[in-house]
A and B are shown apart, each in its own frame.
Chain A
Amino acid sequence: MPASPDPVRPDAGQGDPLLAVEDLVVRYDTPHGVVHAVDGVSLTVGRSETLGLVGESGCGKSTLGRAILRLIEPAAGRIRLDGDDLSGKSRAALRPIRRKLQMVFQDPFGSLDPRWTVGQLLAEPLHVHGIGRRSERRDRVAELLARVGLPADAASRHPHEFSGGQRQRIGIARALALSPALVVCDEPVSALDVSVQAQILNLLDDLQRDLGVAFLFISHDLSVVEHIADRVGVMYLGRIVETAPRAALWRRPLHPYTRALFDAVPDLDRPAERRTRAALTGDLPSAFAPPAGCRFHTRCPLAVERCRHEAPSLRAVGDADHLVACHLAEPPSKTDLV
């Protein structure tokens, strides 16, 4: 077993990953102490790939997404996008790189200026990046609206005239305006009705197939991630505890936290079985003073003495692209009994 995990490796062999995050740390200084919202996270996203990032609220997944976009300044670590190192760059130097890296926000209304028309909102990124003439930009706006399934006359209306799902389509169209290689989606469907959620997820799927854009998809909802992700990372208290291809993770979750998350999903097919499983007890420990050793040991049904002292690092268990940070995880033949 290699001592130092190398999470670049599970990138499905597509050469250099599009996004490579190494040992990213985000700290908040608050009057009550320092919060380690993200504590040494490494991950990669390949071209045209969707990496789903799941975890409870407060686990640092949104902070991680924003730190990658440098909306929050990381305290340490490196972020490389397509060969460019984003971590050391000034905000002005980042501006041209932003064309490749965009974001879709959770609240599609809060992120759209209520005083602007949809057409103006979609043309603005083109304008500030000096793309096209006025008429070309207007054509591009029409193309984007069609792309996300909105009528062409939407361009002359204001955001408040649209429903939540339509506003999220506008947000997606704006994120795509600059033809980015990677879009960070921060809970993009959490504020929407379930029926609308499916439409938006299908739209994202279509866009990925047609445009080859990669997504870092942040969500607390496992069923949403199952629908959209190629690979999934599970976060707990600022760290990634397990990462695997979607099918492998659903077939055989290795980390006890991942299994607890799956058990928490209501399942009509196995109501009796669910009751027999150990549900996760207790709250997320305070991020001001995270537990020593494995951060999950305070809630882990399997914790042993070693877990209280020694923090597990990510290691491949079984398949090379299935990484888990747990001392007790073992290859499939034995873990099936746990």
Chain B
Amino acid sequence: MSIAQSVLPAAEERPVRRGLFARLLRRPSAVAGLALLGAILAMAALADVVYPADPLDMVGTPFLWPGADPDFPLGTDMMGRDIAAGIFHGARVSLLIGGVATLVSLVIGVGVGAIAGFFRGRADHALMHVTELFQTIPPFLFAIVIVAILQPTMTTVVLAIGLTSWPSLARLVRAEVLRLRDGEMVQASIVLGLSDARIILTHVLPNVLAPIVVSASIMVASAILTESSLAFLGLGDPNIVSWGSMVGAGREVLRTDWYVATLPGLAIVAAVLALNLLGDGLNDALDPRQNRR
């Protein structure tokens, strides 16, 4: 036993979970993404404190340029609505829709991918045919159709984005699960008498978490873009302010008062950029080849 002991390396903790945040902070792009995302999250959280009034209310003179009136640092639009208030409240809508829609799509995509990859055979064939069916329809057009048929509300927009963005994730998860399925870890789990559900949930999915996390961050970004595009086309919930609907309203005065459309547009750029930077950083930080020392 003393031999075994002396061969053991000095006690060290596996760095995967605990060290993820620390490793993320070593990457400048990830830090920039986190900072930007943090700022947007703060805007969303503080929207009701800083701008307690309804952002759809007319509060000032129309077409105040940014900086012209200290009460409205980002100016007002053609209806006299405070653009800064709209951007703060819009952050809340964008993040909420992006997050919930991604959650919907994660549940479907991971579920379909894991079942298809683990059970293979008939289940795989059936699920992959459904996935291919979804992939033949352009996701944005599909989302428009869903929202147009149902009423344009927060819920239907979330469902439309969630229901159209899962196929690529399902394929990714399936490929990863297939790779593990034939490996000795899963074989050993079967021999030990673990149930299929337990094997999938405790051994397979945790080991494909890295690519799922990375693609989830990118999916939030594209969900925000899709929501903005829907709102720009007038297919957003008419009772709430969103960045996309602000851009859509501002496009009529783009020649004379371009800031009305540009400022919420910059907010969209910032949010998508932040999430993509974070996704890249996570991709590097979760790469096992870089963790092994």
Interface pair B188/A103, CB less than 8 Å apart: yes
B191 touches A71 (CB 8 A): yes
Beta-carbon contact of A151 and B5 below 8 Å: yes
Distance in angstroms from A26 CB to nearest chain B CB is 15
Q: Annotate B5-41 by CB proximity to A: 1 below 8 A, 0 otherwise.
A: 1011101101010000000000000000000000000
Out of B7, B11, B16, B183, name the residue touching A110 (CB < 8 Å): B183
Do A98 and B207 touch across chains, with their CB atoms under 8 A apart?
no
Q: Is A115 an interface residue (CB 8 A)?
A: yes
Q: Is there contact, CB below 8 Å, between A128 and B190?
A: no
Q: Which chain B positions have C-beta within 8 A of A94?
A: 193
Distance in angstroms between the alpha carbons of A252 and B207 in the assembled complex: 50
Check A102–B191 contact: CB distance below 8 A: yes
Given the known interface contacts A105-B187, A107-B184, A113-B207, the answer about A163 and B193 at a Cβ–Cβ threshold of 8 Å is no
Report yes or no: A149 in contact with B4, Cβ–Cβ below 8 A: yes
Asked if B1 contacts A161 (CB within 8 A), the reply is: no
B289 interface residue, CB < 8 Å from A? no
Report A302 CB to chain B, min CB distance, Å: 40
1/0 contact string of B193-204 vs chain A (CB within 8 Å): 111101000010
B83 to chain A, nearest CB (A): 47
Q: Is there a chain B Cβ closer than 8 Å to A299's Cβ?
A: no
Complex interface residues of chain A between 91 and 143 (CB less than 8 A to chain B): 91-92, 94-96, 98-99, 101-103, 105-107, 110-115, 124-125, 128-129
> Residue A308 at the B interface, CB < 8 A?
no
Q: For residue A128, which residues in chain B have a CB less than 8 angstroms away from its CB?
A: 192-195, 198
From residue B291, how far is it (CB to closest CB) to chain A in Å?
10
Hey, which chain B residues are within 8 Å of A313, CB to CB? none
Interface string of B166-203 (1 = CB under 8 A from A): 00000000000000000111011011111110100001
Docked Cα-Cα span, A151 to B5, in Å, equals 6
Give A127 to B292 CA distance when docked, in angstroms. Answer: 31
Which B residues lie within 8 Å of A124 (CB)? 192, 194
Chain A positions 171 through 212: 1 when the CB is less than 8 Å from some CB of chain B, otherwise 0:
100100010000000000000000000000000000000000
Which chain B residue shows the least CB distance to A163?
Answer: B7
Interfacial chain B residues near A95, Cβ < 8 Å: 193, 195
Kindly state whether residue B138 has any CB partner on chain A within 8 Å.
no
Given A110-B184, A128-B198; A161-B12 close (CB under 8 Å): yes
B191–A103 touching, CB < 8 Å: yes
For B190, give its contact among A71, A129, A150, A158 (CB under 8 Å): A71
A277 within 8 A of B: no
Question: Which among A66, A92, A105 has the greatest number of chain B C-beta atoms within 10 A?
Answer: A105
Whether A125 lies near B193 (C-beta < 8 A) is yes
* Chain B residues near A166 (CB-CB < 8 A): 4, 7-8
Interface size on A, as a range, is 35 or more
- How long is the Cα–Cα vector from A154 to B193 in the complex, in angstroms? 24
- Which residue of chain B is the closest to A171 with respect to CB atoms? B188
For residue B38, give the distance in angstroms from its CB to the closest CB of chain A.
28
The residue on B at minimum CB distance from A150 is B4
Q: Is B206 an interface residue (CB 8 A)?
A: yes
Smallest distance from the beta carbon of A84 to chain B beta carbons, Å? 14
> Is A250 in the interface zone, CB < 8 Å from B?
no
Contact B8 A96 (CB under 8 A): no
Kindly state whether residue A160 has any CB partner on chain B within 8 Å. Answer: yes
Given A105-B187, A110-B184, A160-B14 contact (CB < 8 Å): yes
Convert A296-337 into 0s and 1s, putting 1 for each residue whose CB lies closer than 8 angstroms to a CB of B. Answer: 000000000000000000000000000000000000000000
Interface centre among B4, B187, B198 (most CB of A within 10 A): B4
Chain B neighbourhood of A146, CB < 8 A: 1
Q: Which residues does chain B contribute within 8 Å of A178, judged by CB atoms?
A: 192-193
CB atoms of A98 and B188 under 8 A apart: no
Judge if A288 is at the interface, Cβ distance under 8 Å: no
Q: Is A157 engaged at the interface, CB distance under 8 Å to the other chain?
A: yes
Chain A positions 26-67 with a Cβ under 8 Å from a chain B Cβ: 66
Contact partner of A115 (CB less than 8 A), chosen from B188, B192, B206, is: B206
B273 to chain A minimum Cβ distance, whole angstroms, is 32
Bound form: Cα–Cα A146–B203 in Å: 26
When chains A and B are docked, how far (Å) is the Cα of A102 from the Cα of B5? Answer: 27
Q: Are A174 and B14 in contact (CB under 8 A)?
A: no
CB < 8 Å neighbour of A161 from B9, B185, B196, B203: B9
Q: How many angstroms from the CA of A180 to the CA of B95 in the assembled complex?
A: 53
Question: In the complex, what residues of B have CB within 8 A of residue A99's CB?
Answer: 193
Would you call A125 and B192 a contact (CB within 8 A)?
Answer: yes
Contact of B192 among A102, A154, A158 (CB under 8 A): A102
- Docked Cα-Cα span, A71 to B203, in Å, equals 17
B15 CB, min distance to chain A CBs, angstroms: 10
- Give the 8 A-B residue pairs with the shortest CB-CB distance, closest first: A111-B184, A98-B193, A111-B188, A110-B184, A125-B192, A158-B14, A95-B193, A105-B184
Given contacts A113-B207, A149-B1, A160-B14, 4 further A-B contacts (CB under 8 A): A71-B191, A103-B191, A125-B194, A163-B7
7 contacts between A and B (CB under 8 A): A91-B196, A92-B195, A105-B188, A111-B187, A160-B292, A161-B9, A178-B192
Q: Which residues of B contact A (CB under 8 A)?
A: 1, 4-5, 7-9, 11-12, 14, 16, 183-185, 187-188, 190-196, 198, 203, 206-207, 292
